[in-house]
Amino acid sequence: MAGVAGFLFVAVSGYYLVSSFLRGIREAGGLGGLVRVNPGYLLLSVVVLELHLFSCGWAWRQVVRLAGFRLSVWKAYAIHFLAQIGKYVPGKVWAAIGKYALSCDSGLTRTQAGHALALETVFIVFGSLITAMPLVPGAAAAAGMEKAGAVRLAVGAGLLILAALHPSVQARLLRILAGITRRRIAINRPTFGQTLRTVPIYCIVFVALGTGFWLLTLSLGMNIPAFPGVFLYPTALGIGYLVLPAPGGLGVREMVLVWLIRMAAPGLEPGAAEFAAIVGRLWITAGEALAFVCSLPLYGSGFGRILSLIRLQEPTVS
């Protein structure tokens, strides 16, 4: 049912984006009146995107370390991007299953891999919320809400998420899980200070992504201010991450991004925001596809064996 809902949402949002973009082309008197490419900014956006992709592997390495295991940064990079292909499968679980299986194959225990995935989810949500904070007052005003109330709500949500990283809260959750499963579960328990030192890494992950996308919009001839332009894409990505039916946030991210771009730069030509959202999806997907290809030799196993691991099957040992 979730898969069907996700497919329908992607289809409807895709139709809206494409139709709005085509309408903008007609109003601009043709594609040339809407699209202007600056090669310098485009190249710079790709360079910053590569920094973002590397920081994703760095972040997974740090989270695994908190769970009690050590991976090289390139092994962590490979695990992250080999599993990323699963996010485009409806259900939001396949990327996590892939990362769990590949991490266990790389030496983590099942408990360590599960603990790392739980920590990563909290870090992603908290990191995206931090990078969305500069947009909260403007978004609240655009939506007809009270700015101060929206800021208080966002800060409260952030503190609640942050509390989930505290060792005492994790210990309580672990006891609840142990009671449900009737099993003794032992996990590595990093200090709160060690955990908090990982938060800046996720801020780098999101800010690098946002900066790369802002440079991409400049390469397309869009005059979006750096503030809040740098924070647009991470906010849209975070919201897309939370909407479960949409595979890879497809459709959700683009719709939110169009709304945020129009809020940040209301003077853009009709269709420009839709064009930026579509190009942004192609930009990040191409980057992740390249990272996936590079990760195959970095992981050191053939694609067939990796696929069998993601399916949670025992690979054939030659």
Cβ count within 10 A of residue 204? 18
70 pLDDT higher than 50: yes
Enter the DSSP assignment of 49: H
Mean pLDDT of the chain: 82
Cα–Cα dist 21/92, whole Å: 28
User: What is residue 219's three-state secondary structure?
Assistant: helix
Name which of 260, 258, 272 is nearest 223 in CA terms.
272
pLDDT of residue 249: 62
What is the pLDDT confidence band of residue 37, given thresholds at 50, 70 and 90? confident
Please tell me which residue, 241 or 311, carries the higher pLDDT value.
241
Nearest to 10 by CA among 239, 248, 232: 248
**Highest mean pLDDT, choosing among 54-68, 96-110, 257-271, 289-303:** 54-68
For the CA atoms of 136, 140, 223, 12, the dihedral, rounded to the nearest 10 degrees, stands at 100
- Predicted confidence at residue 36, as pLDDT, reads 77
Buried b / exposed e over 180-191, threshold 16 CB at 10 Å, is: eeeeeeebeebe
- Residue among 278, 240, 284 at smallest CA distance from 19: 278
Predicted pLDDT of residue 215 = 97
Instruction: Tell me the pLDDT tens digit for each residue of 1-15.
Output: 555 555 565 666 666
Question: Is 25's pLDDT higher than 60?
Answer: yes
pLDDT at 276: 92
For residue 143, name the pLDDT band (cuts at 50, 70, 90). Answer: confident
The yes-or-no verdict on residue 279 having pLDDT over 80 is yes
DSSP states along 92-153 = S-HHHHHHHHHHHHTT--HHHHHHHHHHHHHHHHHHHHHHHGGGHHHHHHHTT--HHHHHHH
Which tokens hold the place of 76? Answer: 């962590």
CB of 264 closer than 8 Å to CB of 228: yes
Distance of CA 255 to the CA centre of its chain: 16
* DSSP 8-state assignment for residue 315: P
Q: Looking at per-residue confidence, does 30 or 147 come out higher?
A: 147
Predicted confidence at residue 52, as pLDDT, reads: 97
Which residue is associated with the tokens 């699209």?
A: 35
Phi first, then psi: give them for residue 62, nearest 5 degrees: -70, -40
Q: How confident is the model at residue 306 (pLDDT cuts 50, 70, 90)?
A: low
- The better pLDDT of the pair 16, 246 is held by 16
**pLDDT tens by residue, 189-225:** 888 888 999 999 999 999 999 999 999 999 998 989 9
**Ramachandran region, residue 217 (left: φ > 0; alpha: ψ -120 to 50; beta: rest):** alpha
Average pLDDT over residues 248-252: 68
Residue 303 class from Cβ within 10 Å (0-12 exposed, 13-18 middle, 19+ buried)?
A: exposed
188 neighbors 119 (Cβ within 8 angstroms): no
What's the predicted TM-score (pTM) here? 0.85
Distance CA 260, CA 274 (A): 11
